[in-house]
Structure 1
Amino acid sequence: MTLIPGGAPLSIASGVREFAEATPDRVAVIDGDRTLTFAALDERASRLANHLTSSGLGVGDRVAVLLGNRLEYPEIAAGIAKAGLVMVPLNPRLTPAEARYILEHSESRAIVLDEALSTIVADSVSHLGLSATVLDGTTLGAAYEEALAAASDVDPRVEVPELDPFCITYTSGTTGKPKGVLISHRSRVLTFYMSALEYGLGAGRVSAAVAPMYHGAGFAFGYAPVFTGGTVTMLRKWDPQGFLDLVEKDRVQSAFLVPTMAQGIRSLGPDAVPAKDLSSLDTLYFNAAALPHALKEWVMDTFPGVGVHELYGSTESGVITNLRPVHMRAKSGSVGHAWYMTEIRIVDEQGNEVAPGQPGELFSRSPYLMNGYLKNPEATAECTTEDGFVTCGDIAVRDEQGFISIVDRKKDLIISGGTNVYPREIEEVLATHPAVVETAVVGEADEQWGETVVCHVVLRPGHELDTAALESHCRGELAGYKIPRRWYAIDALPRNAGGKVSKRDLAPPA
């Protein structure tokens, strides 16, 4: 007999199997009035795996998934993994052309989709010859429930190396075509376990999946509760009042949010939160974009018994840092220390580590890193060092106590008259103005200065753009060269699937 070093490989399907045996009758997923136990989840995942392989798919083949948050998402992810296949999540907001690019680039051979979203991929399914399995319909292929009923319920237990990808997540394409990020079973499984430890997931706990599960962080924090034996309740579409109702109804204890969601809850008015019984809620954790200081203070004041975390990371690197509740007020401008098993370097243009208090580009190395970009070794090499550190292009500062603060995106840096201007610093100041909901500061070409500072601002209802008042507000906190020279009032900031502002989609009003 030969001992396999390390034993069984890590797989995102394993948690579902484990808790189907340990707690078969415990509810794993809630979606409105529908529920799914661990035993049912495990069986349905096995049936899906067998359905997919019976259509001719083999280990490593790619299966696209086009769904919003709903009961079936965890079983589909587990079923794809049980068959040794690779999931390719698609954003339901994609255009047909954008979806076609991802399907072709990933070489997807099959797709599982919601009938309501079929128009996005109808032409692609036909032209690319994809095998389609459809929830709530049969327009493009086999009916999902009928396919599961006809398939074997025996777990195929296809094993793949833990460093093999479980999914290919496409970036939002803020610069050019989206890149396919290869994420391994090992990366995500370790993320699940560390998240359970940090954010209170797992057995006996109820978590809410409100961020979209087709996005990297939304999937990680929506699937982790199930993987670790807890319960996840789905919010199909973000709605601030719906979130409060969900917490009260299902006694949610832990929830992952993005800052715009907190802003939405705040916009409901001061009576919305006290009107609900939210006594079950004990943990909120934020990611995807910076949580402005004023909004962070509001969250802590409005949810006084709740531990608030702010984490920082990227699709390529996973979670990099975490600011824990014990430090939230004292270090509210920080994103915390390096997360579990993570090394961080902050370096200058020559790759030398900078001193505390000095800005530099942040690189990290951990077990959560991507395997690379699909079919794009040049892009992989551009963001990776020879000893395995990866950057997502952010400028950061580390203080004497090791707390990390993100200064800005390297690519968002404005150079005006030869001087570096960091948009995030300006946005933080403007976030404290009573007329402002949120802002996005960018550089625009300028003959004299090279670039000039421009601000796109979303105003609160009842307020008009008063540039003199906003400039006066900035002068108390910012040097003159940082104050925006042009201001544009807009209804909303453009965002990608992960909730991050897409600054490339900002343009001066016509």
Structure 2
Amino acid sequence: MLRPGGADLTIAGGVREFGRATPGVIAVRDGDRELTYGALDERSSRLACALLSTGLSTGDRVALLCGNRLEYPEIAAGIAKAGLVLVPINPRLTAPEVSFILGHSGARLLITDSPSRPDAIQLGPFYERFLDSARAVDPWVAVDERDPFCIAYTAGTTGDPKGVLISHRSRALTFYATALEWGIGPGRRTIAVAPMYHGAGFAFAYAAVYCGATVSMLRAFQPDALLDMIARDGAQSVFLVPTHAQLLRGAFSSMPALPTLDTLYFNAAALPKVLKEWVFEAFPGVGVHELYGSTEAGVVSNLRPADARRKAGTVGHPWFATQVRIVGPDGRPVGPGEPGELYSRSPYLMNGYHENPAATAACTTPDGFLTSGDIVIRDEEGFLSIVDRVKDVIITGGVNVYPRDVEEVLLTHPAIAECAVVGEPDEHWGERVVAYLVGREPVDGAVLEAYLRERLAGFKVPKQYRTVAALPRNAAGKILKRELRSTP
């Protein structure tokens, strides 16, 4: 009797498959440089052999410190072909932050485009010689699909960053589901807008080369550069974060025609309703998705275009093969319309935190669910709305205030471009509500207070307004509220 089986899923799989099926198709574009699937497959095999020739063995870690560029997919694929583990690093980190990640991950080798790292394999002529010295033969090092292909370090909003162990299986399944959901498959074209050193940026850019599409590298985000690239390369599906939409809105009074674009999908933070309405108007005829997830959980939910307007403010239903559980402070499930902490279980979950079993245990349940750290509400139709981070809820005078409720109303005021609401210590109330504002034009606090009191309960109205030039954000575009709380 035949038994179903086959090779384990690895993130090198798609490069191998399309390197043979469509070797002449462009896999990656970076300015004037292009890489076909045949070349991507060969170069990643050369890199795998070159890495193994240095004495590295299965499971050893290799760090990659660079931004979006042509070599990123081939390096990820080469590391996987060699049975090694990728450690992506944000090039904007300081030297001590980089040193922490290198030490904590146990990385034995660093590949970088930074000239300040003479101890590393430098992208450019040295890297090309490194590849040329190796055989163009795929070593086919066996790996278990549940083993990590990557240790992705969190942004460190609460102390030192934690290393998230992400398996080959979790990301390979994410890539296939991405092709199904957002059209990143054979014959399609997309753009690596978000940085590939971040979990979502990597997943949605690398999905292209895993699934036979073409990805163009946007090295640095500029609104006009993005639109030029969409037009030049004929991009159809593009992943953005809300910050990108905000910058596009500020840069253009009207958007130019982009006839190839048919799909936009957003992540990192909930799209404010006002900004989402602008996206609908700026990109008529384009299907707008809003997804929700994290590095640890992968994609958890997606709001599809058919419900995008009707259910604006939600992040849709649980994604493919995903279960969710919403529980109250007592750990019991809550009903529709009641806020609770969101847990999810899916094949996309992390393996755990590297060298940190206590942190892993603190966020997981015995039956395999992972907490998001977010408070959500599920409506009668099963749509999920993110109310706020558990740690961001403000308790003032014994009453809970969800900052997002206040932020959504603030953003309806024409003078406010961006905002963040936090709780700060108060001797009388325990915490007071404070709003940080990025304005389009000056606005008096008394005017804002009057505006909000017509639309919010009194206890939700900020006690203080602070104008800032920009809100602090991490690599994923999420606002770092901890930094705002520490602002004098």
Q: 1:252 to 1:111 in 2, by over 3 A?
A: same
Counterpart of 2:122?
134
SS in 1 for 2:419: strand
**Normalized against structure 1, the TM-score is what?**
0.94
Does residue 346 in structure 1 map to residue 326 in structure 2?
A: yes
Q: Partner amino acid for 1:372?
A: G
Q: Which residue of 1 aligns with 2:35?
A: 36
Cα deviation digits, residues 384-440 of structure 1 (max 9, x gap)? 011000012000000000000000000101111111111111111111111111111
Equivalent residue in structure 2 for 1:405, among 363, 379, 385: 385
The residue type paired with residue 457 of structure 2 is A
CA distance in 1, matches of 2:249, 2:160: 35
Equivalent position amino acid for 2:93 in 1:
L
Q: Is the 8 A contact 1:192 1:221 kept in 2?
A: yes
Match of 2:208 in 1: 225
Deviations 1:70-96 (A, max 9, x none): 111000000000000000000011000
Aligned pairs, number: 488
Q: Which amino acid aligns with 1:333?
A: G
Work out which of the residue numbers 463, 467, 472 in structure 2 matches 1:494. Answer: 472
Query: What does residue 284 of structure 1 align with?
Result: 264
Which of 189, 192, 217 is the aligned partner of 1:234?
217
Q: Alignment partner for residue 457 of structure 1, among 437, 440, 450?
A: 437
List gaps (5 residues or longer) in structure 2.
none
**2:359 aligned with 1:379:** yes
Deviations 1:175-195 (A, max 9, x none): 111000000000000000000
Matched, 1:243 2:226: yes
Correspondence for 2:316: 336
CA contact (8 A) 1:488 1:508 kept: no
Pick one of 424, 437, 446 that aligns with 2:417.
437
2:89 corresponds to which letter in structure 1? L
Letter in 1 for 2:165: L
Q: Tell whether the 8 Å contact from 1:465 to 1:489 is kept in structure 2 after alignment.
A: no
Structure 1 residue 3: Cα displacement: 8.0
For residues 67 and 430 of structure 1, the distance between their equivalents in structure 2, rounded to whole angstroms, comes to 37
Deviations 1:82-137 (A, max 9, x none): 000000000011000000000000000001100xx243x55xx4xxxxxx211136
Query: Is the CA contact 2:424–2:485 (under 8 Å) kept in the aligned structure 1?
Result: no
* Matched-pair identity in %: 62
Separation (CA, whole Å) in 2 of partners of 1:369 and 1:508: 32
TM-score when normalising by structure 2? 0.98
The answer for unaligned runs of 5 or more in structure 1 is 126-131, 138-142
2:174 aligns with one of 160, 179, 191:
191
Instruction: Give CA deviations for 1:35-92 in whole Å, capped at 9, x if unaligned.
Output: 1000000000001111111001000000000110011100000000000000000001
Work out the CA distance in 2 between the residues paired with 1:146 and 1:3: 47
Equivalent runs, 1:80-479 vs 2, <5 Å: 80-114=79-113, 117-119=114-116, 121=117, 125=119, 132-136=120-124, 143-271=126-254, 273-274=255-256, 277-460=257-440, 463-479=441-457
Cα displacement string for residues 266-296 of structure 1 (whole angstroms, at most 9, x for unaligned residues): 111323x12xx41000000000011110000
Alignment partner, residue 20 of structure 1: 19
Counterparts of 2:476 and 2:390, CA distance in 1: 19
CA apart distance, 1:470: 1.5
Which amino acid is 1:364 matched to?
S
User: Alignment RMSD, CA only?
Assistant: 1.3
Secondary structure of the 2:200 match is helix
Does structure 2 retain, via aligned residues, the 8 Å contact 1:65–1:89? Answer: yes
Aligned residue for 1:129? none
